[in-house]
Amino acid sequence: MLKTIKKIGVLTSGGDSPGMNAAIRSVVRTCAFHNIECVGIYRGYQGMIEGDFKEMGPRSVNNIINKGGTILKSARSSEFRSPEGRKKAYDNLIKQGIEALVVIGGDGTFTGALTFNSEYGFPVMGIPGTIDNDIYGTTHTLGYDTALNTVVDCIDKIRDTASSHNRLFFVEVMGRDAGHIALNAGIAGGAEEILIPEEDLGLDRLLESLQKSKASGKSSSIVVIAEGDKIGKNVFELKDYVDANLPEYDVRVSVLGHMQRGGSPSCFDRVLASRLGVKAVESLLDGVSNFMVGLKNDTVNLTPLSLAIKGKSEIDRELLRVSDIITT
């Protein structure tokens, strides 16, 4: 290891996700392990601009591995989108003696890091933290596994009441651009139909599927819908449409909302966060930068940030088929 770097800054940015704290802990302790200083930057890029810094030693991240959210807070910073904002941020880093950055977040976070790097040559490494799992170059983003379990737990609860009343439920889950959550949680929740942005099922096929489900002897049904699905109606309009066309159903809507972002991270997310944090810091110490650390084939790997931003995290088409079969 080169270890020419003496001080690393770490921040979280964009929507928070479970596992961010575990990643912060890993970054801080990996720095301590290698006798590097570590500085926590509060409220993402905005805190970088405002100089909202705090030295972090291994004991300052005690008892956070199991906490949702981010102790470094997160914020969106419009100021960082301007050259003036980035200049201020850079000056603060220099003043503080910070020589490299680990940024934890999603697409927007990485875009900011890359712009910053292109202007100032500042070494950055990205850790993918978002429940949506919509980042290219990693099979899993931090928080995704936890969110899946949260959503499935909610669907299980809704099924209790759905099957007690022979009702049809539309459950809207997060995922504006990606159907990962809807597809996996839908299969795991035993959903009869799953609507995702990647596929336009079409209203006719949905009605048909619901009718078939009723005919097959199912007394209750759950349809899981990603926020960003392409069926052309929001979840409440969809309810009205089905109410009008399938009067035998008693449709209810549940929008799971922000609770999907919270909660204590799953074992998987904590272990992943620990691995990615170690790799991000050690890559910087090895002289590597401008990459995202991620998981591929169960192994920690590196993807250029530019690719992580441009690429698309495809859903697994096999799962669409599995879903069709097991809802028989």
What residues form the annotated binding site for ATP? 15, 76-77, 106-109
Considering the complex, state which of residue 121 and residue 297 has its C-beta at the smaller distance from its own copies.
297
- Please say if 132 is a catalytic residue: yes
Q: Which of 16, 52, 132, 134 is catalytic?
A: 132
Considering the complex, state which of residue 114 and residue 151 has its C-beta at the smaller distance from its own copies.
151
User: In whole angstroms, how close is the CB of 4 to its own copies at the nearest point?
Assistant: 20
Considering the complex, state which of residue 16 and residue 107 has its C-beta at the smaller distance from its own copies.
16
- Taken as a whole, the chain contains a residue count of 328
Two structure tokens written together for 287: 């002289």
Considering the complex, state which of residue 73 and residue 86 has its C-beta at the smaller distance from its own copies.
73
Q: Can you tell me the distance from the alpha carbon of 284 to that of 289, in angstroms, rounded to the nearest whole number?
A: 6
CB atoms within 10 A of CB 232: 11
Two structure tokens written together for 45: 């890029």
Q: Can you tell me the distance from the alpha carbon of 291 to that of 301, in angstroms, rounded to the nearest whole number?
A: 10
Annotated binding site: 15, 25-29, 76-77, 106-109, 130-132, 159, 167, 174-176, 190-192, 218-220, 227, 252, 258-261
Considering the complex, state which of residue 122 and residue 184 has its C-beta at the smaller distance from its own copies.
184
Whether 125 and 283 have beta carbons less than 8 Å apart is answered as yes
Two structure tokens written together for 72: 């470094």
User: In whole angstroms, how close is the CB of 210 to its own copies at the nearest point?
Assistant: 16
CA 174 to chain CA mean position, Å? 10
138-163 burial, b at 16+ Cβ within 10 Å, e below that, comes to bebbbbbbbbbbbbbebbeebbeebe
User: In whole angstroms, how close is the CB of 86 to its own copies at the nearest point?
Assistant: 22
Whether 58 and 32 have beta carbons less than 8 Å apart is answered as yes
User: Which pairing describes strands 53-55 and 291-296: parallel, antiparallel, or unpaired?
Assistant: unpaired
User: In whole angstroms, how close is the CB of 121 to its own copies at the nearest point?
Assistant: 28
Annotated binding site for substrate: 130-132, 167, 174-176, 227, 252, 258-261
User: In whole angstroms, how close is the CB of 19 to its own copies at the nearest point?
Assistant: 10
* Gyration radius of the chain over CA positions: 22
User: In whole angstroms, how close is the CB of 140 to its own copies at the nearest point?
Assistant: 9
Furthest-apart CA atoms within the chain: distance in Å? 70
Considering the complex, state which of residue 2 and residue 267 has its C-beta at the smaller distance from its own copies.
267
Two structure tokens written together for 234: 């929001």
Q: Can you tell me the distance from the alpha carbon of 139 to that of 235, in angstroms, rounded to the nearest whole number?
A: 28
Two structure tokens written together for 310: 């441009």
Whether 150 and 136 have beta carbons less than 8 Å apart is answered as no
- Active-site annotation, residues: 132
